Amino acid sequence: MSRFPSRWSPPRGHCRLPGALRWLLALAVAWSLTGAPDAAHAALRVVTTTPDLAAITQAVGAGRVEVTALAAATQDPHFVDARPNLALALAKAGLLVEVGADLEVGWLPTLLTGSRNGTIQRGARGWIDASTLVALLEIPAGKVDRAMGDIHPQGNPHFLLDPRRAERVAVGIGKRLAELDPAGHQAYLDAAKRFVADLRTARTGWESRLATLRGKPIVGYHRSLAYLADWLGLVVVEHLEPKPGIPPSPRHVADVVNVGKARQVGLLVQESWYPTTTSSVAATNMGARLVVIPGMTNFARGQSYHDFLATVVARLETER
């Protein structure tokens, strides 16, 4: 997996065909490998960029939709290889759901072009930008772009670590499914209502289990815990990455350790796709416990969004 924003291209010198033709050839090869598409049993094919969105869509889809996630649960969603087989999935989709806020800007535009599917292009009815359904945090006051080394130029895109925001997203997806597949209109709205009700019940229990963490200072690896902190009342005092997307430097880590000691930080929290070498040393040096959370729902293994969050809660839960 690339740790850099990737734009898929064939090896240099191998092929001098125009870009569009290369994509068509790549798609043709992929079609020949996978065979003709399955008979359309599902009323709607939905592709989501992340497995979190896939799990939410699956829950809201009332058994009427076929859902595919482009990124794996173990993959940093900022950096996904834009392989032609992902464009093939998009080519057959009737709805695309992306996180938005530039989370996928390094890889999704190439795939969308390669899909040659007008139904799911930006602005179409078959496209949902989930970031427009929630209140975003950390929207930069001035102009910031990725060239300045910050991969959150539109605000923090990691809002699915907050179940309250996931509820908003589920309702938004449910409404759009109801529009696109009128025969399932009521089924989608009912499923979204059930999803929200179940999650509300669950999160009341999670909030009380983690009540002792309220107001507690923590350190993160990537600037991805803002919404988790917002939900649970945690205070993120520092991050090992000096800026989102910039790997920790020894000097910055030393500064973070000093802050961690001064603020008596008890937890250093990171997603499983970041290395733990630096963070485990930093955690030890500041007297904190390193907590590795899964980061995203393991949709490929049938995990639900509820079970993913339950895992995150269990990892954070500690007697201190």
Which residues bind to Zn ion, rule: CB under 5 A? Answer: 244
Q: What is the DSSP letter of 162?
A: S
Question: Nearest distance from residue 313's CB to Zn ion, in Å?
Answer: 21
163 or 220: whose CB is closer to Zn ion? 220
What b/e string do you get for 203-228 counting C-beta neighbours within 10 Å, with b at 16 or more?
Answer: beebbeebeebeebbbbbbbbbbbbb
Question: Nearest distance from residue 1's CB to Zn ion, in Å?
Answer: 15
94 or 244: whose CB is closer to Zn ion? 244
115 or 297: whose CB is closer to Zn ion? 297
Question: Nearest distance from residue 152's CB to Zn ion, in Å?
Answer: 6
CA distance 291 to 312: 9
239 or 306: whose CB is closer to Zn ion? 239
244 or 266: whose CB is closer to Zn ion? 244
Question: Nearest distance from residue 222's CB to Zn ion, in Å?
Answer: 5
61 or 244: whose CB is closer to Zn ion? 244
115 or 131: whose CB is closer to Zn ion? 131
If phi > 0 it is left, if psi is from -120 to 50 it is alpha, else beta; for residue 5 that is beta
Largest CA distance in the chain: 61
Between the CA atoms of 264, 247, 48 and 17, what dihedral angle is there, to the nearest 10 degrees?
180
Question: Nearest distance from residue 158's CB to Zn ion, in Å?
Answer: 6
5 or 10: whose CB is closer to Zn ion? 5
Question: Nearest distance from residue 302's CB to Zn ion, in Å?
Answer: 26
Question: Nearest distance from residue 197's CB to Zn ion, in Å?
Answer: 30
CA distance 94 to 92: 7
126 or 155: whose CB is closer to Zn ion? 155
Residue nearest to Zn ion (CB): 244
> Cα–Cα distances in Å, from 220 out to 85, 95, 257, 270?
34, 34, 12, 6
Question: Nearest distance from residue 244's CB to Zn ion, in Å?
Answer: 5
Question: Residue 240's closest CA among 220, 264, 260?
Answer: 220
CA distance 293 to 309: 10
Q: What is the DSSP letter of 119?
A: G
Question: Residue 266's closest CA among 242, 248, 283, 241?
Answer: 283
Question: Nearest distance from residue 113's CB to Zn ion, in Å?
Answer: 24
Beta strand ranges found along the chain (DSSP E): 44-48, 65-69, 95-98, 127-129, 217-220, 235-239, 267-271, 289-293
CA distance 240 to 311: 23
Q: What is the DSSP letter of 243?
A: S
Q: 65 has which bridge partners?
A: 44
